[in-house]
Structure 1
Amino acid sequence: MTDDKGSQTPPRSVLVTGASTFLGGYLVARLAADPAIERVVAVDSRVPTKNLMRRMGRADFLRLDIRRPAIAKAIASYDVDTVVHAAPSIMDSVEHSAAIKELNVVGTMQVCAACQRSPSVKRLVLRSSARVYGAGPSDPGFFSEGTPARKEPRRGYGRDLIDMEGYARGLSRRRQDIGVSILRFQSILGPRIRTRMSAYLSMPVVPTAFGYQPRLQFLHEEDALAALAHATLNPRPGTFNVAGDGIVTLSQSVHRAGHVKLPVPATLISPLVSVLQNGRLPGMRSEHTSYLSYGRVLDTTRMRSELGFEPRYTSMETLDDFIARGKNEPVVSADAWRSLEQRAVATATRLQ
Structure 2
Amino acid sequence: MSGAGKVVLVTGVSRDLGRRFARAAAADPAVDRVIGVDVVPPRGDIGEVSFVRADIRNPVIAKVIAREDVDTVVHMSVIATPGSAGGRMTMKELNVIGTMQLLAACQQSRSVQHLVVKSTTTVYGASSRDPAMFTEEMGPKRQLRTGYAKDATEVEAYVRGFARRRPDVRVTTLRCANVLGPHVESPVASYFRMPVIPTVLGFDPRLQFLHEEDLLEVLRHAVVTDVHGTFNVAGDGILMLSQAIRRLGRSTVPLPSFAVSGFGSFIRQARLADFSPEQLAFLTYGRGVDTTRMREELGFHPVHTTASAFADFGSNLPPRTHGSERVLDGLTRTLAAATDESRGALR
TM category, shorter: 0.7 to 0.9
SS at match of 1:38: strand
1:12 equivalent to 2:6? Answer yes
The 8 Å contact of residues 92 and 195 in structure 1, kept in 2 or not, is answered as no
Question: Take 1:36 and 1:102, find their aligned partners in 2: how far apart are those partners?
Answer: 34
Match of 2:28 in 1: 34
Length, aligned pairs only: 321
Task: Give a deviation string over 1:97-144, Cα, whole Å, max 9, x none.
Answer: 100100000000011110000000010000110000001011000000
Give how far 1:33 is off. 1.5
Match of 1:206 in 2: 197
SS at match of 1:15: strand
Give how far 1:167 is off. 1.1
Give how far 1:269 is off. 2.5
Give how far 1:272 is off. 2.5
Match of 2:88 in 1: 97
Q: Given the superposition, is the C-alpha separation of residues 156 and 276 from structure 1 closer, same or farther in structure 2, using an over 3 Å criterion?
A: closer
Give how far 1:283 is off. 5.1
Question: Take 2:11 and 2:35, find their aligned partners in 1: how far apart are those partners?
Answer: 9
Question: Take 2:139 and 2:261, find their aligned partners in 1: how far apart are those partners?
Answer: 27
Match of 2:105 in 1: 114
Match of 1:83 in 2: 73
Give how far 1:11 is off. 5.7
The 8 Å contact of residues 113 and 168 in structure 2, kept in 1 or not, is answered as yes
Q: Matches of residues 165-244 of structure 1 in structure 2 within 5 Å?
A: 165-244=156-235
Give how far 1:32 is off. 1.4
Question: Take 1:91 and 1:319, find their aligned partners in 2: how far apart are those partners?
Answer: 21
The 8 Å contact of residues 81 and 91 in structure 2, kept in 1 or not, is answered as no
1:246 equivalent to 2:256? Answer no
Question: Take 1:224 and 1:217, find their aligned partners in 2: how far apart are those partners?
Answer: 13
Q: After the TM superposition, which segments of 4 or more aligned residues of structure 1 sit over 4 Å from their partners?
A: 91-96
The 8 Å contact of residues 172 and 180 in structure 1, kept in 2 or not, is answered as yes
1:308 equivalent to 2:299? Answer yes
Q: Which residue identity does 2:70 align to in structure 1? A: V
Q: Which ranges of structure 1 fall in alignment gaps of 5 or more residues? A: 1-6, 332-352
Give how far 1:166 is off. 1.0
Give how far 1:67 is off. 0.3
Question: Take 2:247 and 2:54, find their aligned partners in 1: how far apart are those partners?
Answer: 43
Q: Which residue identity does 1:111 align to in structure 2? A: L
Question: Take 1:12 and 1:176, find their aligned partners in 2: how far apart are those partners?
Answer: 20
Question: Take 1:328 and 1:276, find their aligned partners in 2: how far apart are those partners?
Answer: 20
Question: Take 2:268 and 2:318, find their aligned partners in 1: how far apart are those partners?
Answer: 15
Question: Take 2:117 and 2:302, find their aligned partners in 1: how far apart are those partners?
Answer: 18
Q: Given the superposition, is the C-alpha separation of residues 80 and 73 from structure 1 closer, same or farther in structure 2, using an over 3 Å criterion?
A: same
TM-score, normalisation: structure 2: 0.88
Q: Matches of residues 31-70 of structure 1 in structure 2 within 5 Å?
A: 31-49=25-43, 52=44, 54=45, 56-70=46-60
SS at match of 2:298: coil
Question: Take 1:94 and 1:272, find their aligned partners in 2: how far apart are those partners?
Answer: 20
The 8 Å contact of residues 259 and 330 in structure 1, kept in 2 or not, is answered as no
Question: Take 1:155 and 1:273, find their aligned partners in 2: how far apart are those partners?
Answer: 15
Q: Which residue identity does 1:176 align to in structure 2? A: P
Question: Take 1:186 and 1:71, find their aligned partners in 2: how far apart are those partners?
Answer: 29
Which of 136, 140, 154 pairs up with 2:131?
140
Q: Which residue identity does 1:19 align to in structure 2? A: V
Question: Take 2:145 and 2:48, find their aligned partners in 1: how far apart are those partners?
Answer: 42
Give how far 1:286 is off. 2.6
TM-score, normalisation: structure 1: 0.87
Identity %: 45
Give how far 1:268 is off. 2.1
Task: Give a deviation string over 1:180-212, Cα, whole Å, max 9, x none.
Answer: 000011011111010111110111211111011
1:158 equivalent to 2:149? Answer yes
Q: Which residue identity does 1:200 align to in structure 2? A: Y
Which of 126, 140, 144 pairs up with 2:117?
126
Question: Take 2:317 and 2:88, find their aligned partners in 1: how far apart are those partners?
Answer: 28
Match of 1:21 in 2: 15
Question: Take 1:330 and 1:308, find their aligned partners in 2: how far apart are those partners?
Answer: 43
Question: Take 1:328 and 1:208, find their aligned partners in 2: how far apart are those partners?
Answer: 19
The 8 Å contact of residues 19 and 43 in structure 1, kept in 2 or not, is answered as yes
SS at match of 2:118: strand
The 8 Å contact of residues 90 and 129 in structure 1, kept in 2 or not, is answered as no
Q: Which ranges of structure 2 fall in alignment gaps of 5 or more residues? A: 323-347
